[in-house]
Structure 1
Amino acid sequence: MTWAPLRIIHCVRSPIGGIFRHICDLAAAQSDAGHAVGIVFDSSTGGRFDLARLDSLSDKLTLGIGRFPMRRHLGIQDAKAAGALYRHVRNINPDILHGHGAKGGAYARTIGTLLRMKGRNVTRVYTPHGGSLHYDPHRLEGYVYHRLERILERMSDAIVFVSDYEAAAYQSKVGTPNIAYRVVYNGLRPEEFSPLGDVEDAADFVFVGMLRDLKGPDLFIEGLYNTKLKTGRTPTARIFGEGPDEARYRALVETYGLSDKVTFMGASPARTAMAAGRTLVVPSRAEAMPYIVLEAVAAERPLIATRVGGIPEIFGKHARRLIDPGNVAQLTAAMVAALDNPARMADEARTLRKCLSETYTVDLMHDRITSLYRTVRGEQAADPLAPGNMASIRQAEAARPAYVGSGQKE
């Protein structure tokens, strides 16, 4: 007995960062498993690096790549974009419409519902990736977005959360889902579970991520300046990434007199970027389940990170090493300590790697998400002895429980 292949469309607004890596990895794994897969996303955003990654997957995306204007915030233009996107998806006739992020999730679930009204058997799945869950529920913007999430849940068949933190945030800000839901960690490829050495001229510190305040590049730069004041030595640093606030961060570097020590490198593969600095700094103000932290731990990179989102879940019993988000004093102290004792940082990185669960793999991520599609659609389970089917899913379930809409563990 084998699974019948599915027709799967992934929808996201901005093709950049960890959310897009998640989609590309998932789409590639689903294609390798025999499914027909396509991706739709915004036509006005996306960096060269991420779009090049997508180009490398073009042969696997048999349902194609669609680009449509998708604004970040709600507006009247959404209606026109939704119409064009609806016609594109309708003609593909997917079995699964999987929306990622707040805007991608809104488009996917709305269009999926319209197709259901037309008699199509479309399963509507949503993964927040943080998104609207980062907003303060006590502020007007957060209140509006969280109420919209509750409304959109009625047009959903399942939700996939990438961390226990994200699931808890949804329950506290939106409410306990009344539909099937499951926690599925982001996954790494096998080659990413190998130690990574430094490049010959590695900087003291490296930042890798989107250049926007949510990820904390401004805090990183301020920490460098404070480290200079405390030690009398200006540390060297490299900043990898693209984003809307790059010009402001460049100006901040110049204001602090760090221009000769800090280099903006643009976007680059994570392992290449991490090797360019002796210690990776992740000063995020908010996260869901950041790939860069998983990648750093798997590669045994010395790491300074904040206690946000799913990062404590990665660190496990070593979560005490994390610093408070937005606390520049703690960040500076950690950076000074890293300069003073690199041997201890390397030892902590090796210890942390030993605690990283082997369930953080692309194969298990794919198996658990695709098996959720099947469950929601009411399809019959495959032969458990069939390669790549239920055996690996059972291993994942034994390692950590998933959650369903009733609040009970599977």
Structure 2
Amino acid sequence: MPDPRPLRIIHCFRSPVGGIFRHVRDLAEAQSKAGHEVGILCDSTTGGRYEDKLFDEIRPFLALGLVRLPIRRSIGIADVAALYRSFKEIRSLRPDILHGHGAKGGVLSRIIGSALRVNRYCVARIYSPHGGSLHYDRKAFSGKMVFLLERFQEMFTDAIVFVCDFERDTYIAKVGKPRTRSERIHNGISDRDFETVHARPDAVDFLYIGMLRDLKGPDLFIDAFARTERIVGRPLSAMMIGDGPQKAEYEQMMLERGLGRRIEMLPAMKARDAFAFTRNVVVPSRAESMPYIVLEALAGRKPVIASRVGGIPEVLGEDNVALVAPDNAEALTAAMTSALTDPDWAARVMPEAKGFKAKFSTSTMADDVTRLYRDIVPKSSRANGIPAPRS
């Protein structure tokens, strides 16, 4: 018989921006609505006013609260202080589940969870890579060290959750076949995201939305936009929405190519608000795991052009004409040109709506993740000879 007891769940991650932050917010809200008590621990030095608004939206669902403290991106001596402060905060909350997201989140959840076990307190330790450390080159010294650490931490891991087949396959290729339990549970988005977003009368031809850094391909977007203009023989319009460390470089790139008036740049905003500004969404990433922007765009019935990287082919389908070779401005140009000149292009790009929703909804994701929690908590309790903590 399923255990009806509400679980006490803490999600740990470093940077409250991008896909990991979206993933955790969706999970936290769904788990809270299902009757569980949820908390978040993350970095206090990342994000701005936009992220602060997102935290305000999720606070009502955080019965265990929001803890923010400095967590650096790179590995260093400061991690010791972050671990100690995190341990004190988490110990007082007495969680059943510590779910770490990304490399730093995974370290926090597994080390702290293991320290709690030493103190005769049972907690299940879950890790979701979300790409993260898996982007390292396994031939480089830094990559070899990172993957050795990943392998070592499996000793302190009760389950690894991969968000797509690509992430699982990459982990196996670079780290090795998991020696602990592992499952693939696709990212999902909420029912409200599946409402069609209609384009405004003044909508631009193409939209890039995301982090402004080369890994995500804003430079490829600008290059392909200029090439597409030359092919179609008329001025086009585009918009780039987001923030990031290389924003000034992309602004300079547009000025040098005379595109400043035809590509507008706006700060980060909610994806659904951004979709109303465009007729096509472009995701030119050089590397990804399972990007939420693709799911959100397709749920809002926006045609998507994307690089063939990460789990994107699992969403669009391996043979989708909207998938292009990564780091290839010419291939991206060809797809953008087709989107403008082929009247049937969008109809061929869009996945079948009903099947897409069934596979990539938040409810499906949260149910599968919570089922995993339920399966692990009693096993962890029996292994340690102590009952799982109750609120």
Q: TM-score, normalised by structure 2?
A: 0.93
Report the CA distance between 1:232 and its aligned residue. Answer: 3.7
Q: CA distance change for structure 1 residues 51 and 68 in 2, over 3 Å: closer, same or farther?
A: same
Please identify, of 52-61 and 8-17, the stretch whose mean Cα deviation from structure 2 is larger: 52-61
Instruction: Find the residue that maps to 1:186 and give its secondary structure.
Output: coil
Q: Using the TM superposition, name which of 221-230 and 95-104 deviates more.
A: 221-230
Q: How does 1:121-140 map to 2 (within 5 A)?
A: 121-140=122-141
Deviation at 1:223, TM superposition (A): 1.0
What letter corresponds to residue 225 of structure 1 in structure 2?
A
8 Å CA contact retained: 2:320, 2:349: no
Q: Is contact 1:125–1:159 with CA below 8 Å preserved after alignment?
A: yes
Which residue does 1:295 correspond to in 2?
296
Does the aligned pair in 2 maintain the 1:129–1:288 contact within 8 Å? yes
1:317 positional shift: 5.1
- Say if 2:371 is the partner of 1:366: no
1:119 equivalent in structure 2? 120
Change (3 A) 1:89 1:215: same
Structure 1 residues 156-165 or 317-326, which shifts more? 317-326
Shift of 1:320: 4.7
Distance between the aligned counterparts of 1:370 and 1:323, measured in 2? 35
Q: Which amino acid aligns with 1:191?
A: R
Local SS of the residue matching 2:10: strand
2:244 aligned residue: 243
Query: Is residue 2:230 matched to residue 1:215?
Result: no
Aligned to 1:262: 263
- Report the counterpart of residue 68 of structure 1 in structure 2: 69
Gaps of 5+ in 1: 381-410
Give the deviation of 1:357 after TM superposition. Answer: 5.2
RMSD: 1.7
Quote the residue 2:347 is aligned against. Answer: 347
1:281 Cα deviation after fit: 0.4
Q: How far apart are the structure 2 equivalents of 1:5 and 1:114?
A: 23
Once residues 230 and 200 of structure 1 are traced to their aligned partners in structure 2, the CA distance between those partners, rounded to angstroms, is 24
Question: Do 1:208 and 1:274's aligned partners in 2 also have CA atoms closer than 8 Å?
Answer: no
The residue identity in structure 2 corresponding to 1:80 is A
Aligned-residue offset at 1:82: 1.1
Do the aligned partners of 1:10 and 1:39 also contact (CA within 8 Å) in 2?
yes
Residues matched between the structures, number: 379
SS in 1 for 2:274: helix
- What is the distance in 1 between the residues matched to 2:116 and 2:203? 53
- For residues 288-327 of structure 1, the aligned pairs below 5 Å read 288-316=289-317, 318-327=319-328
| Residue identity matched to 1:374 | R
Q: Give the Cα–Cα distance (whole angstroms) in 2 for the partners of residues 320 and 355 of structure 1.
A: 19
Contact 1:15–1:41 (8 Å) recurs in 2: yes
Counterpart residue identity of residue 293, structure 1: V
Counterparts of 1:261 and 1:221 in 2: how far apart (Å)? 11
Query: Within 2, Cα distance between the matches of 1:58 and 1:355?
Result: 32
Give the corresponding residue for 2:35.
Answer: 34
Q: 1:321 to 1:206 in 2, by over 3 A?
A: closer
Counterpart amino acid of residue 363 in structure 1? S
Change (3 A) 1:184 1:275: same
Secondary structure, aligned partner of 2:11 = strand
1:92 deviates by: 1.2
Specify the SS of the correspondent of 2:359. coil
The answer as to whether partners of 1:297 and 1:352 remain within 8 angstroms in 2 is no
Instruction: Flag the 1:375–1:33 CA change in 2: closer, same or farther, 3 A.
Output: same
Question: Hey, what's the Cα distance between the residues in 2 that align with 1:351 and 1:38?
Answer: 35
How far residue 275 of structure 1 moved from its aligned partner, in angstroms, is: 2.0
Distance 1:245 1:107 in 2: 29
- 5 Å-filtered alignment, 1:88-127, equals 88-127=89-128
CA distance in 1: counterparts of 2:76 and 2:224, whole angstroms = 38
More deviation, 102-111/245-254: 245-254
What displacement does 1:116 show? 1.0
Cα distance, 1:354–1:60 mapped onto 2, change above 3 Å: closer
Instruction: Report how far residue 354 of structure 1 moved.
Output: 5.8
CA apart distance, 1:195: 2.5
Give secondary structure in 2 for the equivalent of 1:58: helix
Spell out, residue by residue over 1:33-63, the C-alpha distance to the aligned partner (whole angstroms, 9 max, x if none).
1111110111100132232112112121011
Give, in angstroms, the shift of residue 339 of structure 1: 2.2
Q: What amino acid does structure 1 have at the position aligned with 2:169?
A: A
Query: One-letter code of the match for 1:322?
Result: L
Helix, strand or coil for the counterpart of 1:358? helix
Aligned-partner Cα distance in 2 for 1:311–1:334: 16
Cα distance in 1 between the residues matched to 2:322 and 2:237: 23
Which residue matches 2:6?
5
Query: What secondary structure does 2:240 align onto?
Result: strand
Q: How many Å separate the matches in 2 of 1:355 and 1:308? A: 22
Q: Is it true that 1:282 corresponds to 2:283 in the alignment?
A: yes
Q: Which residue type is aligned with residue 368 of structure 1?
A: D
**Which position in structure 2 is the counterpart of 1:179?**
180
**How much has 1:344 moved relative to structure 2?**
2.0
Verify the 8 A CA contact 1:127 1:160 in the aligned structure 2. yes
Worse overlay, 148-157 or 346-355: 346-355
CA displacement at 1:194 relative to structure 2: 2.9
- Which amino acid in the other structure matches residue 18 of structure 2? G
Could you tell me which runs of 5 or more consecutive residues in structure 2 were left unpaired when the two chains were aligned. Answer: 381-391
SS in 1 for 2:358: coil
Inter-CA distance 43–210: structure 2 relative to 1 (3 Å threshold): same
Q: 1:295 to 1:85 in 2, by over 3 A?
A: same
Aligned counterparts of 1:379 and 1:275: Cα–Cα separation in 2: 48
Given that 2:13 and 2:101 are in contact with CA atoms closer than 8 Å, whether structure 1 keeps it comes out as yes
Q: Are the counterparts in 2 of residues 47 and 242 from structure 1 also a CA contact under 8 Å?
A: no
